[in-house]
């Protein structure tokens, strides 16, 4: 059973696209759109299969594609999302609006994966490869759990996909409340824009909002974003899935220095988490430790602030600390070993020392996230 590969049809061309073919495809899509990829080649007069046309369009011809080097922020986003989502490139690409999944996948395979490996971090699990590195202070167990936590959490959250449509409708309703006609937010990223960025819902089924600090044009200029795990899911979430606790994941961004961004809450939560800057972070429960975040019922709200990128400090909501000294030592060595490569991959300017410092913070943050895995969770 199963249908034969579409490109097995005799006479269909494969291989690199010519400018003429590109032109035909573009003209056809501009004129008719791409409602049916299978019918498009005929309409466009192309000897290609629809699949090939779709690929060419989505990966190359689409007008809203940003090409060229990835910025440091984009790299951060990719790594962070990969830690949570794994090789779900389309989901990751959703949050880098001008990048294609193929491009992100290629960039991961050719750059980021190798760089992580060089630093002694397993690019698959996002945990340090050397157990001895962390075992001294007993952190290895925590580090080892991130990927499991992420996979487990993703699986659970994906189960919410069935309920996404309801969530979307609620978000849409909230959008109207937040941004009624005539309402003109002063910042570049209004709350309504955040609501609009619910691709997370549609792609992964996670009932929350992910925003990587993009403005309306999708530029990765903001250095602010936050990650919220909330367990205040509406009752329907629990009953529908037979899960007593259904954490919500919300990635919420703000523009740099602006204070008008809110955290979009799902229905069932009683209020907005506030429209102030995420730096205020009013949502931390006293005594809650992000360093030992847990997805059990003991945890109700968790917000990770990523002001200025994922620095270790930004990931610490309170005084509770994670001993990352050993990892940092490793990073120091790694950075000094790999400074040349880091410079090559720098998307921005600045001298090497600045970049090294930023880069160190950046990798610190990744490792800190690794270190913050919920080893205490009964799930593990």
Partner DNA sequence: AAACGGTCCAACCGCGCAAAA
Partner DNA sequence: TTTTTGCGCGGTTGGACCGTT
Q: Of 52-60, 217-225, 303-311, 359-367, which segment contacts DNA by CB under 7 A?
A: 52-60
**Residues 180, 169: contact at Cβ < 8 Å?**
no
C-alpha–C-alpha distance, residues 44 and 167, integer Å: 39
Under the criterion CB under 7 A, does residue 32 sit at the interface with DNA?
A: no
Under the criterion CB under 7 A, does residue 52 sit at the interface with DNA?
A: yes
Under the criterion CB under 7 A, does residue 251 sit at the interface with DNA?
A: no
Closest by CA position to 301, among listed 212, 215, 214, 230? 230
C-alpha–C-alpha distance, residues 113 and 298, integer Å: 35
Under the criterion CB under 7 A, does residue 203 sit at the interface with DNA?
A: yes
User: In this structure, what DSSP letter does residue 227 have?
Assistant: E
Under the criterion CB under 7 A, does residue 60 sit at the interface with DNA?
A: yes
**Residues 67, 47: contact at Cβ < 8 Å?**
no
Q: Is 302 helix (H, G, I), strand (E, B) or coil?
A: strand
Q: 26, 37, 43, 309: which one contacts DNA (CB under 7 A)? A: 37
Torsion angle of C-alpha atoms 145, 151, 157, 162, degrees rounded to 10: -160
Q: 76, 103, 250, 289: which one contacts DNA (CB under 7 A)? A: 103
Under the criterion CB under 7 A, does residue 109 sit at the interface with DNA?
A: yes
Q: Write down the least CB distance from residue 148 to DNA, Å.
A: 17
C-alpha–C-alpha distance, residues 367 and 199, integer Å: 27
Q: 47, 59, 232, 338: which one contacts DNA (CB under 7 A)? A: 59
Q: 43, 66, 98, 105: which one contacts DNA (CB under 7 A)? A: 105
Under the criterion CB under 7 A, does residue 51 sit at the interface with DNA?
A: yes
Under the criterion CB under 7 A, does residue 102 sit at the interface with DNA?
A: yes
Token representation of residue 143: 């580090």
Q: Write down the least CB distance from residue 108 to DNA, Å.
A: 9
Q: Write down the least CB distance from residue 67 to DNA, Å.
A: 7
Q: 10, 30, 64, 110: which one contacts DNA (CB under 7 A)? A: 110
* Alpha helix segments (H runs only) across 274-324: none
Residue 211, C-beta contacts closer than 8 angstroms, at least 6 positions apart: 95, 189, 194, 197, 225, 251, 252, 253
Based on CB atoms, which residue is closest to DNA, 38 or 321? 38
Closest by CA position to 194, among listed 260, 284, 267? 260
Binding mask 112-141 for DNA (x = CB under 7 A): --x---------------------------
What residue ranges bind DNA (CB under 7 A)?
A: 1-3, 5, 7, 13-17, 35-39, 50-52, 54-56, 59-60, 67, 87-91, 101-103, 105-107, 109-111, 114, 203
């Amino acid at each position: 059973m199963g249908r034969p590969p579409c490109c097995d049809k005799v006479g269909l061309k494969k291989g690199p696209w010519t400018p003429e073919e590109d032109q035909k495809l573009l003209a056809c899509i501009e004129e008719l759109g791409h409602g049916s990829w299978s019918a498009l080649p005929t309409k466009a007069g192309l000897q290609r299969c629809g699949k090939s046309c779709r690929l060419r369009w989505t990966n190359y011809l689409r007008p809203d594609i940003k090409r060229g080097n990835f910025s440091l922020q984009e790299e951060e986003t990719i790594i962070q999302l990969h830690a949570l989502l794994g090789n779900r490139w389309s989901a990751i690409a959703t949050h880098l609006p001008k990048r294609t999944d193929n491009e992100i996948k290629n960039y991961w395979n050719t750059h980021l994966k190798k760089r992580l490996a060089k630093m002694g971090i397993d690019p698959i699990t996002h945990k340090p490869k050397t157990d001895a590195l962390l075992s001294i202070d007993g952190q290895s167990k925590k580090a080892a759990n991130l990927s499991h936590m992420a996979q487990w959490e993703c699986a659970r959250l994906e189960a919410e996909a069935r309920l996404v449509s309801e969530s979307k409708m609620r978000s849409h309703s909230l959008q109207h409340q937040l941004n009624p006609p005539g309402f003109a937010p002063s910042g570049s990223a209004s709350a309504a824009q955040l609501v609009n960025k619910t691709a997370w819902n549609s792609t992964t089924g996670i009932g929350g909002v992910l925003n990587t600090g993009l403005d309306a044009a999708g530029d990765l200029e903001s250095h602010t974003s936050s990650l919220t795990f909330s367990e205040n899911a509406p009752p329907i979430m629990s009953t529908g899935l037979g899960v007593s606790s259904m954490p919500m994941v919300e990635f919420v961004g703000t523009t740099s220095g602006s204070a008008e961004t809110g955290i979009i809450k799902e229905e069932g939560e009683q209020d907005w988490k506030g429209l102030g800057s995420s730096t205020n972070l009013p949502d931390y429960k006293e005594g809650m430790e992000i360093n030992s975040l847990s997805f059990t019922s003991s945890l109700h709200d968790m917000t990770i602030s990523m002001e200025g990128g994922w620095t270790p400090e930004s990931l610490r909501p309170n005084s509770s600390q994670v001993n990352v000294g050993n990892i940092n030592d490793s990073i120091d060595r790694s950075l000094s070993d790999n400074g040349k490569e880091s410079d090559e991959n720098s998307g921005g300017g600045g001298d090497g020392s600045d970049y090294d410092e930023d880069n160190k913070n950046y990798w610190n943050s990744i490792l800190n996230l690794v270190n913050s895995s919920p080893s205490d969770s009964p799930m593990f």
